[in-house]
């Protein structure tokens, strides 16, 4: 946790400078195509952009200290509200993709490690490489083309739920799958699930490769270790050796990369959300960048940084649960 | 008529298939162990000591291929291809301990639980019983405060303590044979003595047999009843300890003894053995694999397979010119 504060300060400074480095002048953008120099100047003053950069930074930090991320120029809403409203959509998608990726990739990696150079191993490496080789947005478009346009199995790729047929649930967690279940509305649950399938698969494919490869590598290390040899020499059954001795030790390295993968996924959301009309933070960030909407861009990056820090905290806690050595150091 | 030995390895030959060809790791390896006896296998690295142990345990890698010979343990043929029976026997009737005990224990599992895993595998025990037996096993190897040590993780224990845990685990099911593969390598001299004393004591107490694999002839001389010397996949000499140390018949054994430091020796007096092991991948391995390092080499060494000569009742040597 001690390293979190300096990195957050760094992020605050970097995002401020980066967003100022975006090409384009927001005053011109918001004054509209018909504006003359005078009205552009007016807009600039109203946005506070006529002040010097240090002054702007001081204002920004002052606002942050008071819990305000500023107001978005495009939506007219406080950035914090915008982000919090959209975050659950992205989170739901990311979690779903991560779970799917883990459920597929971890067993694949384990099988590949148990039988190295076997058919399963080559198959695993092949699929995983192919899955990682295609850009996410291309896979997403391909899936939409095949399953929506050609086969008609998937619903229209327009957001989290088709509001013509289903009722969006009341917000409790912001995760539609959970909220619809809480509301006891199985119809809407199915509707939300149907919308979630294609974006989840496109995103999960991207995470398969690193998880499967990490699982395979760490399983191979664990199974080749001295303590597994001891377990075998003591006649322990194959399942005990594989899971209690091999997998639990391999789990350490797998957990360690999960934080990284989760943040990768959150980043790749940007593209997937565009393809599926998903009302998440990725889509929000893209339009903010296009409009040079400083406050929104800064807010987005800052939130991602905070999520990343929290994520690493969770990973550390998990590592402590698995490995007593980590626990005792702390 | 004496009883058959507990373990009898007879003319065991074993190759490893590698990309560069077959490695003839063992050839005609024979030795035996009786109950209540420690047999030391001595030799430099690569001479086939550990491979012999893994062959007995059925823990060879898949690239190993047994070319001939037999391994009999308490009347059972261990080379008969019966995976399940072999697994049930490992840890219960034959146990093995290794060098570097710290890494040989699962780092993230309590040592007591690891002993329990073995107990549960080899017999129907309730959870409560298993824990009690695990603590008893720790007590048997003189681990102080064993009930508390049950909950320790390997990283909280010293190397010597870890090796005692390993021994406790190996002896938990009261096996008939203990194989110790360099059990004291990496431990300091005092701990080494403690661990070896413990093994000797357990052998005397339970009448089990033990196989001590070491490169330290001094250690073997101190704790073993008999010693088999291995060189490049051959057992070159096999004799009771006193006989071997006093009247080593094979030139390699003689030189090993000369190369073993005793307390009074000056470093300059310490012998060394010139040359190294022959490349075991060669197709044209000589009959005598010690040939190139030997000072007693004569023509017949190159021309004919080595005879195994019985000098006295239990002193065997594989050489054309034993002394």
User: Residue with structure tokens 């509301």?
Assistant: A183
Average pLDDT value over all residues in chain B = 89
pLDDT of residue A171: 80
Query: Considering CB atoms only, which of B109, B122, B155 is closest to A235?
Result: B122
Between helix A248-276 and helix A136-143 the angle, nearest 10°, is 60
Task: Tell which A residues from 168 to 227 touch B, by Cβ distance under 8 Å.
Answer: 225-227
Does A117 contact B at CB distance below 8 Å?
Answer: no
Is residue B37 within 8 Å of residue B209, measured between CB atoms? yes
Residues in A touching B98 (Cβ below 8 Å): 226, 229-230, 233
Q: What is the distance between the alpha carbons of residues A116 and B204, in angstroms, rounded to a whole number? A: 44
The SS3 assignment for B33 reads strand
Tell me the nearest-neighbour CA distance from B271 into chain A, angstroms: 34
CA angle (A111, A115, A116) in 5-degree steps: 110
Report the side by side order of strands in the sheet with B177-181: B94-97, B177-181, B209-214, B38-42, B226-231, B234-240, B315-318, B308-312
Q: What is the distance between the alpha carbons of residues B217 and B256, in angstroms, rounded to a whole number? A: 7
Q: What is the distance between the alpha carbons of residues A93 and A268, in angstroms, rounded to a whole number? A: 11
E strand or H helix that includes residue B126: none
Residues in A touching B87 (Cβ below 8 Å): 235, 237
How many pairs of residues across A and B have Cβ atoms under 8 Å apart?
A: 78
Q: What is the distance between the alpha carbons of residues A146 and A142, in angstroms, rounded to a whole number? A: 6
- Domain enclosing residue A170, as ranges: 85-275
Scanning A224-247, the segments in alpha helix (DSSP H) are: 226-233, 238-239
Q: What is the distance between the alpha carbons of residues B50 and B45, in angstroms, rounded to a whole number? A: 9
Tokens of A76: 């007219």
Work out the percent of chain B whose per-residue pLDDT is above 90. Answer: 48
Nearest CA in chain A to B83: A235
Domain of A184, CATH number, reads 1.10.3720.10
Between helix A4-20 and helix A53-65 the angle, nearest 10°, is 140
pLDDT of residue B130: 93
Question: Residue A71 gets which letter from DSSP?
Answer: B
Would the CB atoms of A226 and B96 count as touching at under 8 Å?
Answer: no
Q: What is the mean pLDDT of residues B239-266?
A: 85
Q: What is the distance between the alpha carbons of residues A122 and B132, in angstroms, rounded to a whole number? A: 47
Average pLDDT value over all residues in chain A = 85
Q: Which of A152-156, B9-13, B19-23 has the highest mean pLDDT?
A: B9-13
Q: Summarize chain A as % helix, strand, coil (round to 5).
A: 75, 0, 25
Would the CB atoms of B106 and A325 count as touching at under 8 Å?
Answer: no
User: Residue with structure tokens 């390993």?
Assistant: B166
ipTM of the complex: 0.86
Is residue B56 within 8 Å of residue B9, measured between CB atoms? yes
Nearest CA in chain B to A222: B106
Q: What is the distance between the alpha carbons of residues A151 and A157, in angstroms, rounded to a whole number? A: 14
Report the side by side order of strands in the sheet with B76-77: B21-33, B7-18, B64-73, B76-77
Task: Tell which A residues from 245 to 274 touch B, by Cβ distance under 8 Å.
Answer: 245, 248-249, 252
Compute φ and ψ for B143, nearest 5 degrees.
Answer: -85, 120
Residues in B touching A114 (Cβ below 8 Å): none
Q: What is the distance between the alpha carbons of residues A196 and A183, in angstroms, rounded to a whole number? A: 19
In angstroms, the first-to-last Cα distance of chain A is 11
Between helix A281-290 and helix A294-322 the angle, nearest 10°, is 150
What's the structural domain count of chain A? Answer: 1
Would the CB atoms of A233 and B57 count as touching at under 8 Å?
Answer: yes
Bridge pairing between strands B38-42 and B226-231: parallel
Residues in A touching B156 (Cβ below 8 Å): 328
User: Which residues, 6 or more positions from A184, have their beta carbon under 8 angstroms from its beta carbon?
Assistant: none
pLDDT of residue A221: 94
User: Which residues, 6 or more positions from B56, have their beta carbon under 8 angstroms from its beta carbon?
Assistant: B7, B9, B71, B73, B78, B94, B179, B211
pLDDT of residue B2: 64
pLDDT of residue A170: 80
Is residue A250 within 8 Å of residue A219, measured between CB atoms? yes
Q: What is the mean pLDDT of residues B43-66?
A: 90
Is the pLDDT at B133 greater than 60? The verdict is yes
pLDDT of residue A66: 84
Nearest CA in chain B to A323: B108
- Residue whose C-alpha is closest to residue A147's, from A95, A200, A97: A200
Q: What is the mean pLDDT of residues B25-41?
A: 93
The more confidently predicted of residues B229 and B124 is B229
Q: What is the distance between the alpha carbons of residues A250 and A110, in angstroms, rounded to a whole number? A: 10
pLDDT of residue B279: 85
pLDDT of residue B1: 46
- Residue whose C-alpha is closest to residue B252's, from B321, B180, B305: B321
**pLDDT band at residue B189 under the 50/70/90 scheme:** confident
Is the pLDDT at A251 greater than 80? The verdict is yes
Is the pLDDT at A21 greater than 80? The verdict is no
Tell me the nearest-neighbour CA distance from B85 into chain A, angstroms: 10
């Amino acid at each position: 946790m001690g390293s979190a504060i300096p990195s957050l300060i760094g992020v605050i400074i970097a995002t401020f400078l980066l967003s100022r480095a975006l090409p384009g002048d927001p005053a011109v953008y918001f004054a509209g195509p018909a504006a003359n120099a005078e009205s552009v100047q007016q807009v600039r003053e109203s946005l506070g952009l006529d002040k010097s950069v240090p002054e702007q930074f001081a204002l920004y930090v002052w606002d942050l200290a008071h819990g305000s991320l500023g107001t978005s120029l495009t939506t007219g809403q406080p950035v914090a509200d915008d982000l919090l409203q959209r975050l659950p959509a992205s989170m739901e998608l990311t979690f779903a993709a991560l779970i799917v990726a883990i459920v597929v990739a971890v067993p694949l990696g384990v099988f590949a490690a148990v039988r190295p150079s076997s058919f399963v191993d080559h198959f695993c490496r092949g699929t995983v490489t192919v899955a990682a080789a295609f850009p996410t947005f291309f896979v997403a478009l391909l899936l939409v083309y095949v399953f929506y346009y050609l086969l008609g199995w998937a619903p229209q790729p327009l957001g989290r739920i088709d509001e013509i047929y289903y009722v969006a649930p009341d917000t409790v967690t912001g995760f539609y799958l959970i909220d619809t279940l809480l509301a006891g509305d199985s119809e809407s649950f199915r509707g939300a699930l149907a919308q979630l399938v294609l974006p989840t698969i496109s995103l999960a494919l991207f995470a398969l490769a690193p998880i499967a490869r990490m699982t395979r590598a760490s399983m191979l290390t664990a199974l080749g270790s001295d303590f597994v040899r001891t377990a075998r020499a003591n006649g322990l059954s194959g399942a005990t050796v594989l899971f209690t001795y091999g997998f639990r030790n391999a789990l350490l390295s797998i957990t360690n990369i999960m934080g990284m993968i989760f943040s990768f996924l959150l980043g790749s959301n940007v593209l997937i959300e565009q393809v599926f009309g998903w009302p998440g933070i990725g889509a929000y960030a893209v339009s903010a960048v296009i409009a040079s909407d400083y406050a929104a861009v800064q807010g987005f990056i800052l939130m991602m940084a905070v999520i990343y820090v929290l994520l690493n905290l969770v990973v550390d806690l998990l590592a402590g649960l698995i490995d007593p050595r980590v626990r005792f150091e702390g | 008529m004496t009883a058959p030995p507990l373990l009898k390895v007879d003319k065991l030959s074993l190759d490893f298939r590698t990309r560069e060809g077959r490695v003839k790791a063992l050839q005609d390896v024979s030795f035996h162990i009786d109950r209540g006896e420690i047999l030391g296998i001595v030799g430099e690295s690569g001479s086939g000591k550990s491979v012999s142990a893994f062959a007995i345990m059925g823990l060879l890698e898949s690239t190993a291929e047994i070319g001939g010979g037999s391994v009999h343990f308490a009347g059972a043929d261990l080379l008969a291809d019966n995976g399940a029976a072999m697994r049930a026997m490992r840890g219960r009737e034959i146990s093995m301990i290794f060098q570097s005990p710290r890494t040989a224990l699962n780092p993230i599992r309590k040592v007591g639980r690891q002993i329990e895993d073995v107990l549960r595998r080899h017999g129907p025990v309730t959870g409560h019983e298993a824990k009690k037996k695990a603590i008893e096993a720790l007590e048997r190897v003189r681990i102080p405060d064993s009930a508390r040590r049950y909950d320790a993780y390997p990283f909280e224990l010293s190397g010597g303590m870890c090796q005692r845990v390993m021994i406790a685990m190996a002896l938990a099911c009261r096996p008939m044979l203990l194989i110790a593969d360099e059990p004291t390598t990496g431990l300091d001299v005092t701990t080494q003595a403690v661990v070896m004393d413990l093994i000797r004591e357990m052998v005397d107490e339970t009448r089990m047999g033990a196989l001590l694999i070491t490169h330290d002839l001094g250690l073997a001389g101190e704790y073993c009843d008999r010693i088999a010397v291995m060189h490049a996949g051959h057992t070159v000499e096999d004799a009771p300890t006193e006989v071997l140390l006093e009247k080593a018949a094979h030139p390699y054994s003689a030189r090993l003894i000369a190369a073993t430091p005793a307390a009074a020796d000056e470093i300059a007096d310490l012998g060394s053995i010139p040359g190294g092991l022959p490349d075991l991948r060669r197709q044209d391995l000589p009959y005598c694999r010690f040939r190139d390092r030997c000072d007693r080499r004569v023509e017949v060494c190159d021309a004919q397979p080595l005879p195994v000569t019985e000098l006295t009742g239990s002193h065997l040597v594989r050489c054309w010119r034993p002394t």
